[in-house]
């Protein structure tokens, strides 16, 4: 049995001491009604965390405060397993949520491989807040006006229109893009892009308002502290109990990307003036790149949030990357990965394949731009 450090409440700086109390941090709120998992909200950071179904048995004890030894005894008695097996389960669970910052015990120091995995799973981002709503977090939802078949039909129709729009934009970008013909008209591209990004975020905001979701802030985010773009904080949408509204909120901006790119493609094919045709084709290309950026599964993008909404896994990217790194780098499995079902493991592997396909598609778009600029057609 490990020897606790009574001064810090840690065991080898990685595990809570067996006989010292441990509980959820004071800033952690348990969001009601999120079945079958457990949804936690850290009020000081505004971040949501989802725990799996197997974690529900630990929640009441961590609310009041308990000891790892008590949890081990509970698991051993409930599932009729040896205490050594129960200790492994409890230790991995507590270590995982401690690393998330959900316990009143500070997260442990990380080794080199652990820090690398965390860096890949957490993208640094600065924010310039322009609008702030200090109202309490809510997501009242909205009663479905149509039946399930009608909603599926509407979703399929919107999806088909979006795919057709993307197809038109791709044709315009691959056949009509000529950077050298733009001339002075290229100055209009940043203005069009700014208008488009505003429409994109307005789509998220309107969807949130439609479903009664509080939007705490909106402004400009700086990915890697450099790349700017408007944003709307729609994190409180995780409080919605149904997946359909969350999918609508996360994909509303993607649909606007696709439709605007399609409109630009249509204008490119309809224009008789060479400069206007080149400008419309360039806008179609830029909006396709914007769409590629917004569906990027490797970053906290709309596409990633749509995957999380559809699968019901609020930390899908982080856990998928950690699972893939566990396989590649032979890192120890977390509590979540140890108890993940076959379907979820396949989803994580599918995420890896999807990410590789995404990188290949982006490489083709970049190659097309290089060919246009260099005259290699």
Tokens of 175: 């056949």
Average pLDDT score over residue span 104-108: 77
**Top-ranked range on mean pLDDT: pick from 12-21, 117-126, 147-156:** 147-156
The more confidently predicted of residues 252 and 361 is 252
Q: Give per-residue burial for 169-186: e unless 16+ CB within 10 Å, then b.
A: bbebbbebbbeebbeeee
Tokens of 16: 């809570």
Enter the pTM of the model: 0.72
> What is the chain's Cα-based Rg?
24
- CB-based contact 139:208 (threshold 8 Å): no
For residue 109, the model assigns a pLDDT of 61
pLDDT tens digits along 156-173: 899 999 999 999 999 998
Measured CA to CA, the distance from residue 163 to residue 295 in angstroms comes to 14
* CA 49 to chain CA centroid, nearest Å: 12
Strands 28-31 and 15-16 come out as: unpaired
Region label for 224, one of left (φ > 0), alpha (ψ between -120 and 50) or beta (otherwise)? left
Average pLDDT score over residue span 349-373: 79
Phi, psi of 162 (to 5 degrees): -65, -40
Average pLDDT score over residue span 6-28: 63
Average pLDDT score over residue span 289-316: 82
End-to-end CA distance of the chain: 69
Average pLDDT score over residue span 95-115: 75
| Beta bridge partners of residue 229, listed in sequence order | 221
Average pLDDT score over residue span 83-94: 85
Q: Is the pLDDT of residue 144 over 90?
A: no
pLDDT tens digits along 42-83: 888 888 888 877 788 888 899 888 888 898 888 888 888 888
Measured CA to CA, the distance from residue 17 to residue 112 in angstroms comes to 24
Measured CA to CA, the distance from residue 186 to residue 183 in angstroms comes to 6
For residue 332, the model assigns a pLDDT of 65
Measured CA to CA, the distance from residue 42 to residue 25 in angstroms comes to 9
| Beta bridge partners of residue 22, listed in sequence order | 66
């Amino acid at each position: 049995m490990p020897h606790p450090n009574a001064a810090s409440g840690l065991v080898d700086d990685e595990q809570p001491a067996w006989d010292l109390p441990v509980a959820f941090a004071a800033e952690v709120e348990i969001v009601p009604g999120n079945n079958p998992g457990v949804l936690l909200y850290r009020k000081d950071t505004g971040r949501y965390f989802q725990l799996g179904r197997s974690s529900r048995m630990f929640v009441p004890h961590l609310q009041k405060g308990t000891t790892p030894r008590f949890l081990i005894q509970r698991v051993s008695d409930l599932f009729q397993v040896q205490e050594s097996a129960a200790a492994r389960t409890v230790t991995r669970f507590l270590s995982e949520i401690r690393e998330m910052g959900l316990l009143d015990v500070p997260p442990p120091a990380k080794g080199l491989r652990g820090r690398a995995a965390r860096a890949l799973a957490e993208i640094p981002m600065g924010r310039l807040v322009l609008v702030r709503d200090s109202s309490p977090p809510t997501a009242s939802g909205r009663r479905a006006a149509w039946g399930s078949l009608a909603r599926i039909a509407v979703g399929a129709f919107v999806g088909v229109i979006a795919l057709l729009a993307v197809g038109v934009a791709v044709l315009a970008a691959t056949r009509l893009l000529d950077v050298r013909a733009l001339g002075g008209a290229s100055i209009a591209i940043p203005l069009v892009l700014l208008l488009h990004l505003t429409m994109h975020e307005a789509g998220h905001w309107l969807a949130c308002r439609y479903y009664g979701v509080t939007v705490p802030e909106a402004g400009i985010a700086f990915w890697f502290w450099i790349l700017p773009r408007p944003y709307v904080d729609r994190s409180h949408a995780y409080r919605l109990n149904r997946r359909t509204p969350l999918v609508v909120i996360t994909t509303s901006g993607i649909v606007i990307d696709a439709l605007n790119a399609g409109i630009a493609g249509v204008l490119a094919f309809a224009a008789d003036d060479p400069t206007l045709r080149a400008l419309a084709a360039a806008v179609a290309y830029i909006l396709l790149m914007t769409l590629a950026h917004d569906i990027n599964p490797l970053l906290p993008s709309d596409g990633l949030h749509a995957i999380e909404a559809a699968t019901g896994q609020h930390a899908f990217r982080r856990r998928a990357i950690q699972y893939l790194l566990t396989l590649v780098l032979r890192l120890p499995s977390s509590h979540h990965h140890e108890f993940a079902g076959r379907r979820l493991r396949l989803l994580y592997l599918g995420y890896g394949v999807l990410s590789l396909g995404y990188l290949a598609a982006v490489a083709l778009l970049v190659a097309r731009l290089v060919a246009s600029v260099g005259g290699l057609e």
